[in-house]
Amino acid sequence: MRLATAFDEIEPLGDPRVRDNEAYLGLLLLSRVVVRLGDFSPVPPEVIAGLYTADFAYLQGLYLELNTALSLSPAAAPLSPPTVPAAPPAATPSGGTVETTCPHCGTDLLLDLSGA
C-alpha cells in the first residue's frame, strides 16, 4: 500500500459505480493505493471486492492509519476505526517501506510510505 494522493481520493468520485452506490468509493480507493496483493500488481477493484469482510476492513483501517497520521498535529493521536484490529506498522509513516502481514488472511503487504 502506498500513501494516497488527492487525485486518488477525487478521481473515483467521477466513476459511475460510485455515483450509483457511494459504498463503492472505498473499494476503488483501495484498488488505487494497494500496490500489490499476493500475485496481483496492480490490484484490480474486482480483487478488492472479493476479499472477506474482515480483510477489507483491515485494509481500510490500515489506509486510515497511514493517511490520517500524517495530517494530524504532533499532539494528536493517530485515528483508526475501533472495530479494526490493525497491528501498528513496524515504523512510523515517515518514508521508506514497511512490511506487514494481514492478521486475518496472512497475506504479506509491502507498504511504500515514500509518497511515490
The answer to whether position 56 is within a domain reads yes
Kindly report the pTM of this predicted structure.
Answer: 0.62
Give the domain range for residue 100. Answer: 6-112
Q: Is 79 helix (H, G, I), strand (E, B) or coil?
A: coil
pLDDT tens per residue, range 21-43: 998 999 999 999 999 999 999 99
Q: Is residue 1 part of a domain?
A: no
Q: Flag whether 79 is in a domain.
A: yes
The predicted-structure confidence for 52-109, as pLDDT tens digits, reads as follows 999 999 999 999 999 887 655 454 444 444 454 555 444 445 566 667 777 767 777 7
Question: 101 or 115, which is more confident?
Answer: 101
Query: How do residues 43-62 score in pLDDT, each as one tens digit?
Result: 999 999 999 999 999 999 99
Structural domains of the chain, count: 1
13: helix, strand or coil:
helix
**pLDDT (0 to 100) of residue 116:** 52
Classified as helix, coil or strand, 47 is: helix
Residue 42 forms part of a structural domain: yes
Asked if the bond preceding 42 is cis, omega within 30° of 0, the reply is yes
